[in-house]
Amino acid sequence: MTHGDAFSGRVGCGSRPAVVVVDMVRAYFDDGGPLQLPSRTAVDACASLVDAARAGGHPVVWTVVRYGPDAGDAGWFVHKVPALRHFAEGAPGGWGDVVAPLAPAPEETVVVKQYASAFFATSLASTLLARGVDTVVVCGVSTSGCVRASATDALQHGFRPLVVREACADRSAALHENNLVDLDAKYADVVDLAEARARLGGPDGDCGGAPRPS
């Protein structure tokens, strides 16, 4: 049995994109990090994507995970992933800080979340809608977790989700690739960094040329 045209349609890119940078924090990339991934290449790719968005005049929104001092607002999530306690208020190490050289600009929104999706119980959807955004370009970590959940929820909130292959990362290459395949089949358009940059970069791109709403 074959699925034919049942999967992998295209949502495309609207005229008002925003880049959402998901949880690009020190815990995943700095030596000794409690969630350290095997490669830092996604950091450079995210930086390139953010540069293109800023140059094109498109919003950039960042997410971080934060909990109260006892991580009581993490619910059962912190029992499933005990390393999340490193994101509690007052936890040593500063692992929840955005990893260098990435840094939100003063005018860019930082959304604080407690669970995987950048949309769950946060102001993200309202923030994007108020800016007139119709397309969410997702980068960050991890591909199988917060990126996947955020891209899926973007679709469910009525945005066109694009996931940038090189600008995401996971605990293994297999997890990364398998989840990209499934995202592209059902929930988002998975695109290469060069394509995403071209779409953000100007009037010739699918997403380019639209002014920001005031």
* C-alpha count within 13 angstroms, C-beta hemisphere, residue 120: 16
What residues form DSSP beta bridges with 22? 63, 140
Active site residues: 146
Structure tokens at 96: 């929840």
- The H-assigned helical ranges of the chain are 26-29, 41-55, 77-80, 124-130, 148-156, 173-186, 193-200
Residues 6+ apart with CB under 8 A from 192: 164, 165, 166
